[in-house]
């Protein structure tokens, strides 16, 4: 197995009396696609929130690239990008501006220079706009760059989130149900984008209920049930694992779409 890019050890997240993550430990190998699956409420999104810094772990540690990131705020977790289960775009901004939000934290110059419209800032603005435009081309949204984001379809909003997440050039990208609510054609586009990310050398960790989607993309599988990891290993073996099948009884069938 490739060395781990991301590793969680003994992670616990408690919400009052509810233990959403209970001693979660798993590793995400560098350079491939790992799927994190499990029934509704298993703790998948909470896990993503812990990795991206939106949720503090009650206990346990998170490692990225050999460095502990457990207590770092989200903006100091360089190299990790994500999308959200419920697409989060800025509806009043244009599609291009939404991507620029992702590009800007990486620019130097600061507020004062920006206020004075210094030549360096102008160059950076030019660079940022070019980069955002290129990302939109990449996800197939170049034609709608000037539209307000709220006018996009759900499928387009998910692609816009992906472009914004890629703006920071992350090594690891977390996709929380990126294909949920999409048509078969839109789902196919997401599959191709995930493959392109892998071909780029990025590492993808995805949450997905659609088992066919998982089966086609992931080499490595982590299964959560009631906040605990019940399987970690090769994806093809995981889908045949009796404990995984038992956890999914009744839910996998309702979620199978493609």
Ligand X SMILES: Nc1ncnc2c1ncn2[C@@H]1O[C@H](COP(=O)(O)OP(=O)(O)OP(=O)(O)O)[C@@H](O)[C@H]1O
Interface residues with Mg ion (CB under 5 A) are: 44-45, 85
DSSP designation for 171 = S
Closest distance to ligand X from the beta carbon of 46 (Å) = 3
Residue 81 sits at φ, ψ, to 5 deg, of: -120, 160
Q: Which of 241, 222, 228 is nearest to 19 (CA)?
A: 228
Query: Residue 225 pairs with which residues in a beta bridge?
Result: 228
**Residue 143 Cα to chain centre, angstroms:** 24
- Among ligand X, Mg ion, none, the one that 38 touches (CB under a kind-dependent 5 to 8 A) is ligand X
- Among ligand X, Mg ion, none, the one that 15 touches (CB under a kind-dependent 5 to 8 A) is ligand X
Closest distance to ligand X from the beta carbon of 226 (Å) = 9
- Among ligand X, Mg ion, none, the one that 43 touches (CB under a kind-dependent 5 to 8 A) is ligand X
Closest distance to ligand X from the beta carbon of 39 (Å) = 7
Here's the x/- map for ligand X, 39-78, by CB under 6 A: it reads as -xxxxxxx--------------------------------
- The nearer residue to ligand X, 35 or 135, going by C-beta atoms, is 35
Contacts of 229-234 spanning 24+ positions with Cβ under 8 A = 229/24, 229/25, 229/26, 232/26, 232/27
Distance between CA atoms of residues 16 and 100, nearest Å: 38
CA atoms within 13 A on the CB side of 209: 21
Closest distance to ligand X from the beta carbon of 41 (Å) = 4
**Binding of residue 20 to ligand X (CB under 6 A):** yes
- The nearer residue to ligand X, 155 or 227, going by C-beta atoms, is 227
- Single out the segment in contact with ligand X by CB under 6 A; choices: 13-21, 91-99, 106-114, 125-133: 13-21
Task: Name the H helices within the chain.
Answer: 44-52, 95-103, 110-116, 119-138, 154-166, 184-199, 211-217, 235-238, 242-248, 252-255
Closest distance to ligand X from the beta carbon of 218 (Å) = 16
- The nearer residue to ligand X, 125 or 232, going by C-beta atoms, is 232
Residues engaged in binding ligand X (CB under 6 A): 15, 18, 20, 38, 40-46, 85
């Amino acid at each position: 197995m490739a060395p781990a890019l991301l590793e969680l050890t003994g992670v616990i997240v408690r919400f009052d009396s509810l233990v959403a993550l209970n001693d979660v430990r798993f590793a995400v190998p560098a350079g491939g696609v790992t799927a994190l699956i499990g029934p509704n409420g298993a703790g998948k999104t909470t896990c993503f929130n812990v990795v991206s810094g939106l949720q503090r772990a009650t206990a346990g540690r998170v490692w990225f690239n050999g460095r502990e990131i457990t207590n770092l705020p989200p903006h100091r977790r360089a190299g990790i990008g994500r999308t959200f289960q419920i697409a989060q775009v800025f509806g009043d901004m244009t599609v291009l501006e939404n991507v620029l939000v992702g590009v800007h934290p990486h620019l130097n110059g600061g507020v004062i220079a920006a206020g004075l419209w210094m030549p360096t800032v102008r160059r950076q603005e030019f660079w940022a706009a070019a980069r955002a435009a290129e990302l939109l081309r990449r996800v197939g949204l170049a034609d709608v760059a000037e539209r307000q984001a709220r006018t996009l379809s759900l499928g387009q909003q998910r692609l816009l989130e992906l472009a914004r997440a890629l703006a920071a050039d992350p090594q690891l990208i977390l996709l929380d149900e990126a294909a949920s609510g999409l048509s078969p054609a839109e789902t196919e586009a997401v599959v191709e984008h995930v493959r392109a990310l892998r071909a780029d050398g990025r590492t993808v960790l995805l949450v997905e209920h659609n088992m066919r989607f998982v089966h086609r993309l992931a080499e490595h599988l982590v299964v959560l049930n009631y906040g605990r990891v019940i399987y970690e290993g090769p994806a093809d073996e995981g889908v045949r694992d009796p404990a995984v099948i038992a956890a999914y009884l009744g839910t996998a069938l309702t979620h199978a779409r493609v």
